[in-house]
Amino acid sequence: MIFNSMIKKYDSQYDKSNDFNEAEIRAARESANAKAAKISETVSVYEQKNSEKDKYTNELTTAQDENIQINNAYTAALNGLRGAQVELRNAQSIPVRITKNPDGSITKDTSERDAAINRAELLIEAAKAELDEINSQKEDVNREIDELNKEIENTQKDLDRLQQEKDKAEQELEQTEAYIQKLEDEAAAAKSRQEAEANKKEDSETKPDNNIFINGIKTEEEEKEEEEPQTEVIESITTEETEALSHDATILLNQELYSEEEINEAKENVSNIANKGYNESDDLVSQYVNLAKDLEDVDIDNNIKIRDEVLDLLSLQNLQNGVAPEITNTLVQAIKEVGTSEDIGEDGTGNNAGAVLKYGGAAGDPWCASFVSWLYGDSQGINFKEIFPKEYADIGVYEMKQSAEEKGLYHTKDEYTPSPGDIIIVGGGEHTGIVAKEDNDFLYTIEGNANDAVRARKYPKNSDKYANISGYISMQTVFGGETPKYIEGIPDEKYELVGEEYGIY
């Protein structure tokens, strides 16, 4: 089978790896083997379930044929009953024979009519008994048909689920294979560098010192080379460094929230990355270094530019970790939209119009669902109604919830831990937004039509407002990929507390 050949491939392909990243390659190879085995197991279960479905389908066909025969027998028995009823009416119409006796008395002879009536009644009784028996058989067959239809429906759901699992595992396997190839290339490059350095060292040990001339005098150029130390080129930036840089960026872009010690430490960290001497021929490394250099000189004029640089790099990290681009784009765009507001009237209230109309709602209408559908739809060129059924002409919160329930995407709050990018449903469909993250104390969201604007909000888990959240729509189930990670574009302190006691509803 193809999956066995995959496993053999990962066992033999990377024998040439060296100490540079041997452990990473081994771990990736084990992960690939596990994913290939999972695909093989899923296919095996799929084939078993498909056989079960075929068995149920054949049994259903037999039961339906039997039901047709029973219906035909029922029709025949019913016609027999009707014939017996006609015969009874005819028997009841047979005239009584009247004979006048010599003594003048009259004798009535009903024997012929009585015999005919008795015979018809027996026929009616037999026909009714036959109909009762047929009805009983019909109920049994109909019950069997219903049960088989349920079995087929449940088996089809299992098949659909297994197909999704297989598709997801194959996607993960493909990503892991690409990752292994990257590690292999790095290992090969490292080996080449090591060999080149070893050869260089060997040459330097055997080569005569050309810098020594008569009277020990060296040229001006050679003396200059000795005076100028060579900067060591660092090939790549580490994951720990990129994550730290993202956090330092948050501090430097929101200095009013942090202590002087935290700000100075962040400045020192970004300065180290900006001047460490990375190999900037790699585009990604170059982006991180340029961000660090911008952060060294952050001010109000370039704040938005640097924020967007941070978001772009965090987005790239998410994509490299296998997160679906649709979810990543939504999380980044949601952060960029925070602060977009309705036109505010003289009375201090919004009018559901103005800049927020770009989300697709009509002037004057609530627009929280429009904001969500815009994030997952028009903002990235996706038809949102392809995610949810097209029969919902106007996508509102209730329609999203109803559609998600029909497609198995909706989960109640008590049975599900939300991931960044999931859609929250408040109540039965009163309000909605995007999950940013969740911790032990708060649920963090970004919502449209939240006090007349797009706001970053946090729900205390001991509050009535959090209790009113009914559930979530899983967007990872829709788009696949790895579990999304929190994109640190907004400090926790800038998420507004939700609840009457905080002044935010």
Average pLDDT, integer, range 296-320: 73
Q: What is the pLDDT of residue 498?
A: 87
CA 397/CA 388 separation, integer angstroms: 12
Which of the two residues, 434 and 209, has the higher pLDDT score?
A: 434
**What one-letter code names the amino acid at 171?**
Q
Q: For all residues of the chain together, what is the average pLDDT?
A: 80
User: Hey, what CATH topology would domain 342-502 get?
Assistant: endopeptidase fold (from Nostoc punctiforme) (3.90.1720)
> What is the band of 125 on the pLDDT scale with cuts at 50, 70, 90?
very high
Query: Cβ distance 481 to 324 under 8 Å?
Result: yes
Domain ranges in the chain? 2-100+107-195, 239-320, 342-502
Calculate mean pLDDT across residues 21-35.
75
371 neighbors 336 (Cβ within 8 angstroms): no
Q: Would the pLDDT of 151 be above 80?
A: yes
Mean pLDDT of 304-333: 82
For residues 393 and 39, the model is more confident at 39
Averaged pLDDT for residues 163-171: 86
Assess contact for 469 and 459: CB atoms under 8 A: yes
Query: Which strands form 453-460's sheet, in the order they lie side by side?
Result: 410-412, 469-473, 423-426, 431-438, 442-450, 453-460, 496-497
- The rounded distance, in Å, linking the Cα atoms of 450 and 367 is 9
Rounded Cα distance, 326 and 319, in Å: 10
- What is the identity of the amino acid at 155? T
pLDDT tens for 247-304 read: 888 888 888 888 888 888 888 888 888 887 776 666 677 777 888 888 877 765 567 7
Band of residue 124 on the pLDDT scale cut at 50, 70, 90: very high
What percentage of the chain reaches a pLDDT higher than 90?
A: 28
pLDDT computed for residue 275 by the predictor:
84
The encoded tokens of residue 218 equal: 């060296």
Q: What is the mean pLDDT of residues 231-236?
A: 54
Rounded to the nearest 10 degrees, the angle between the axes of helix 397-406 and helix 368-376 is 50
Phi, psi of 477 (to 5 degrees): -65, -35
Task: State yes or no: pLDDT of 312 exceeds 60.
Answer: yes
DSSP string, 244-310: HHHHHHHHHHTGGGS-HHHHHHHHHHHHHHHTS-B-TTSHHHHHHHHHHHHHHT--TTTHHHHHHHH
> For 183-229, what is each residue's pLDDT tens digit?
777 777 777 777 777 776 666 555 554 443 334 444 555 555 555 54
CA 318, 319, 320, 323 torsion-angle sign: positive
Burial class of residue 319 in the structure, from the number of CB atoms within 10 Å of its CB (0-12 exposed, 13-18 middle, 19+ buried): middle
Q: Does domain 2-100+107-195 have CATH number 3.40.50.360?
A: no
